Structure 1
Amino acid sequence: MICSGRTRLKISRSFKTLVLQKSFNFRVQFFSNCSPKKLRMDNNLNCSIEGNKKGSRGALVVLEGLDRSGKSSQCTRLVNYLEGQRISAELWRFPDRNTDVGKMISAYLTNTSQLDDHTIHLLFSANRWEKRLLMETKLKSGTTLVVDRYSYSGVAFSSAKGLDIEWCKASEVGLLAPDLVAYLDISPEKAAERGGYGGERYEKLEFQKKVAESYKAIHDVSWKFVDAFQPIEDVEKQLQEIVIDCVTECQKGKKPLSLLWSK
């Protein structure tokens, strides 16, 4: 089919009109959806979301206490409780015996190696420093860490051997400070009555009495004391109450991370 020049001109004009009309309709729709008021609202919402992401984090919760005070059992129960509340949580233990340093510590604790008191203290400290970066990354990503023993144990046990407390603290300065320290309070005598006592190097009654005194020397008003001689379920419930408040506060961005024993 052959079109005349006049016919081709009409088709061309009709096509241009159609394209212009669609373009006009698109611009009207676009600017209607992106009015200044709507754009401002969207920007404010995005800023709010970003702000929440930056401020919200996981909590660093530490359980301390004498050997056989129930820390390990309560840490496991606590993580299960938090996960049941749809809170991302992980259980950590120090010493971490899976690292190279941790294996040296494990050999010492099970009496298969001998080390100077200063040396073993620094190994315990190094074991915590090995995990510092990962700890910070986990907390900032929103994961709450429930930690079975931390720097306080290192200082309490080493000073119980006669080492200077300030020297013991020095190698720990700069590690992340806990948001909550829960001390499971039990007398050395009652702890010694529990099953499995005496299996490791430090599980000796007279030494545990000295550790208890060392804990008294380093604790502060921020610590929460829980009677560990209560029934397990009562200890568990009390820990849940104090920990959930701490976790909520960290999730709301009200507690920035801080460093241990920093001036």
Structure 2
Amino acid sequence: MRNYSSAVVCRKYNPTNMSRAIHRGQFIVFEGIDRCGKSTQSQKLKDAFEKNGKKVILQKFPNRKTLTGSIIDKYLKKEVNYPDQFIHLLFSANRWECMAELERALNCGTSVILDRYAFSGVAYTAAKGSLSLKWCKAPDSGLLKPHCVFFLNLQPEIANCRKGAGEERYEQVEFQKKVLEQFMKLKDETWKIIDANQSEDKIFSNIYQHALSLNNQELTKLWTTDF
């Protein structure tokens, strides 16, 4: 995992007794099927935040730099095969191992932008049809809940025509359609669905205006009432 110490300054931090005076960072997630533009838009938002003097971390999941991430990387590149249960739990572990640092950053006023999160983990495994949606959600119950999820909505047929499509496991049109169906079962009040079949600038304009409206919200946990 990357060392965030240079980006986060927060003295005498205590997660169980945070001062009300501290301005909490924004926790923003980008989701969607493969090749919908998540990486482009998450980077644009990070750049805009930094230009305006905000402290910000951009993290992509899976984090392929960790021990779990290196195993996941080989799996996604189709170099190895694992049972659905095993790889799903490994994806979840990859998220959990970053949570303490990301929570610390948020509570110290640094905004966190994630390119994929638990929603992807659940949607992609559930789309295989071998495991229930509830089973897939269970390992991620208790992770930090985003303040906002920008879901970039794009039809798989269009995504499949974009550069790099088909290079990794899961990047097949019919499977991506199933993933999209599962994503729609996970949306809640924090989701903002954006038409990703527009220009990059128009998409970003919608994202940025909404991101500016997020102010010092409490941190809560994901899916804790489901179990």
Q: What TM-score do the two structures reach when normalised by structure 2?
A: 0.89
Which residue of structure 2 aligns with residue 262 of structure 1? 224
Shift of 1:100: 0.2
Provide the C-alpha distance between the structure 2 equivalents of 1:168 and 1:177, rounded to a whole number of angstroms: 16
Structure 1 counterpart of 2:137, from 137, 153, 169: 169
Shift of 1:165: 0.4
5+ residue gaps, structure 1, are: 1-49
Which residue of structure 2 aligns with residue 27 of structure 1? none
Equivalent runs, 1:145-164 vs 2, <5 Å: 145-162=112-129, 163-164=131-132
Provide the C-alpha distance between the structure 2 equivalents of 1:90 and 1:257, rounded to a whole number of angstroms: 17
CA contact (8 A) 2:146 2:190 kept: no
Shift of 1:245: 1.1
Which residue of structure 2 aligns with residue 187 of structure 1? 155
2:184 is equivalent to residue 216 of structure 1: yes
Structure 2 counterpart of 1:52, from 3, 14, 21: 21
Identical residues among aligned pairs (%): 41
Shift of 1:217: 1.2
Which residue of structure 2 aligns with residue 205 of structure 1? 173
- Helix, strand or coil at the partner of 2:224: coil
Which AA in structure 2 matches 1:124? Answer: F
Shift of 1:220: 1.7
Provide the C-alpha distance between the structure 2 equivalents of 1:89 and 1:221, rounded to a whole number of angstroms: 24
Which residue of structure 2 aligns with residue 229 of structure 1? 197
- Helix, strand or coil at the partner of 1:184: strand
The higher radius of gyration belongs to: 1
Per-residue CA shift, 1:132-151, capped at 9, x if unaligned? 10111111111101100000
Which AA in structure 1 matches 2:21? Answer: N
Q: What value does the CA root-mean-square deviation take over the aligned residues?
A: 0.9
- Helix, strand or coil at the partner of 1:209: helix
2:80 is equivalent to residue 113 of structure 1: yes
Which AA in structure 1 matches 2:54? Answer: I
Which residue of structure 1 aligns with residue 15 of structure 2? none
Which AA in structure 1 matches 2:146? Answer: P
Structure 2 counterpart of 1:95, from 52, 56, 62: 62
Tell me the matched-pair count.
206
Which residue of structure 2 aligns with residue 85 of structure 1? 52
- Helix, strand or coil at the partner of 2:206: helix
Per-residue CA shift, 1:14-57, capped at 9, x if unaligned? xxxxxxxxxxxxxxxxxxxxxxxxxxxxxxxxxxxx6422xx11
Which residue of structure 1 aligns with residue 7 of structure 2? none
5+ residue gaps, structure 2, are: 1-18
Q: What TM-score do the two structures reach when normalised by structure 1?
A: 0.77
